[in-house]
C-alpha cells in the first residue's frame, strides 16, 4: 500500500512550490534458489517508511494535459524517514525537464530529461523508484524506458531521456464530444550510476540502455488520454564464459495519460 499527499502553492506567474508526504509499506517475497534469496541485499526486511519531499516548479505548458507548447521544469528533493521495523534513511535531489513544441498543425515534439541521485541507507527496491511532484515507478517499464524490464538495472543514481513525436491521425465525435487519435513513434534511453554494481546492474560494458517503439493515443475531450505503447530494447546478458549477449526484449503497455 502507498499513499501520496501533495500541496502546491502558486508563487508568481508560472512559478510554483510544492510539498509532499508519502507513506508506504513494503513486503519482500522470494522463492528458493532465486538470486534475491541468495544475495540478500539491504532492505530484505521491507517494512513501513515515510518520505517528505518539496521543491520548485515552472509550468508554461499549454494546454496542461495535452501540451502543444511550453516547458515543465522541476527541481526538488526527498528524504525518507525509517519507521520502526522499516529500512534505513535516505534521500537526494531530483531534476526534471519536459518540453513541448508544435511542428505544424498535426505534429508535436515532446521530450523529457529526468535525473536523481540518492544517498544513505537505500533499500534495494527503492533504487529504481523516483521522487518528485508525482513519484515515478521503475527504471524500465511503462513510465520510463518502454521495452526494457522494470527494475532490470539499479543504482543510487539514475538518469533518462525520452523523445516522442505525437502525430494527429484523425478526429471524430463520440457521444457529442471530440475524440482525437495519435500515432507516437518514440525513443527512450537511460543509465544508472554510483555505488557498487549489484547482480544484474549496469557495468562499464553497457552503461547506456536504449529502447524505442510505437504508440497509439486516444484523447477524449482533451481531458482523458489512453495509450498503448509497444517498445523494443536490448537486455545485455553475461554468459558463463564472460561474453555478453544482447537479448531482444518486447514490452506492451496499456495505461492512461501521456508518459510525460
pLDDT along the chain (260 residues), means of 10: 94 96 93 88 93 98 95 98 88 98 96 97 94 94 95 92 97 94 98 68 64 97 95 88 89 96
DSSP label of 42: T
User: What is the biggest distance separating any 2 CA atoms in the chain, rounded to whole angstroms?
Assistant: 63
Cβ burial 21-54 (10 Å sphere, 16+ → b, else e)? ebebebeeeeeeeeeeeeeebebeebbebebebb
Q: In the prediction, which pLDDT does 14 show?
A: 96
- What is the model's pTM? 0.90
Kindly report the number of other CB atoms within 10 A of residue 69's CB atom.
13
Which among 131, 156, 149, 113 has a CA at the least distance from the CA of 260? 113
Q: In the prediction, which pLDDT does 206 show?
A: 52
Q: In the prediction, which pLDDT does 242 show?
A: 79
| Burial group, residue 67, by CB count within 10 angstroms (0-12, 13-18, 19+) | buried
Q: In the prediction, which pLDDT does 86 show?
A: 86
Amino acid at each position: 500500500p502507498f499513499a501520496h499527499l501533495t500541496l502546491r502553492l502558486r508563487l508568481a506567474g508560472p512559478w510554483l512550490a510544492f510539498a509532499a508526504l508519502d507513506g508506504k509499506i513494503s513486503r519482500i517475497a522470494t522463492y528458493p534458489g532465486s538470486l534475491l534469496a541468495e544475495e540478500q541485499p539491504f532492505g530484505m526486511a521491507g517494512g513501513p517508511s515515510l518520505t517528505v519531499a518539496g521543491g520548485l516548479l515552472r509550468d508554461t505548458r499549454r494546454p496542461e494535459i495535452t501540451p502543444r507548447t511550453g516547458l515543465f521544469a522541476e527541481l526538488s528533493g526527498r528524504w525518507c524517514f525509517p519507521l520502526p521495523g522499516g529500512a534505513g534513511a535516505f534521500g537526494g535531489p531530483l531534476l526534471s525537464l519536459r518540453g513541448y513544441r508544435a511542428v505544424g498543425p498535426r505534429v508535436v515534439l515532446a521530450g523529457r530529461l529526468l535525473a536523481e541521485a540518492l544517498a544513505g541507507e537505500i533499500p534495494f527496491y527503492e533504487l529504481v523508484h523516483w521522487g518528485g511532484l508525482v513519484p515515478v515507478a521503475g527504471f524500465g517499464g511503462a513510465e520510463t524506458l518502454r521495452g526494457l524490464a522494470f527494475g532490470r538495472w539499479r543504482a543510487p543514481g539514475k538518469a533518462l531521456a525520452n523523445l516522442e513525436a505525437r502525430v494527429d491521425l484523425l478526429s471524430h465525435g463520440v457521444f457529442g464530444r471530440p475524440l482525437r487519435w495519435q500515432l507516437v513513434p518514440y525513443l527512450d534511453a537511460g543509465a544508472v550510476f554510483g555505488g557498487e554494481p549489484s547482480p544484474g546492474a549496469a557495468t562499464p560494458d553497457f552503461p547506456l540502455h536504449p529502447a524505442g517503439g510505437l504508440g497509439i493515443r486516444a484523447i477524449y475531450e482533451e481531458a482523458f488520454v489512453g495509450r498503448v505503447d509497444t517498445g523494443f530494447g536490448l537486455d545485455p546478458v553475461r554468459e558463463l564464459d564472460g561474453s555478453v549477449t544482447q537479448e531482444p526484449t518486447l514490452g506492451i503497455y496499456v495505461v492512461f495519460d501521456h508518459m510525460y
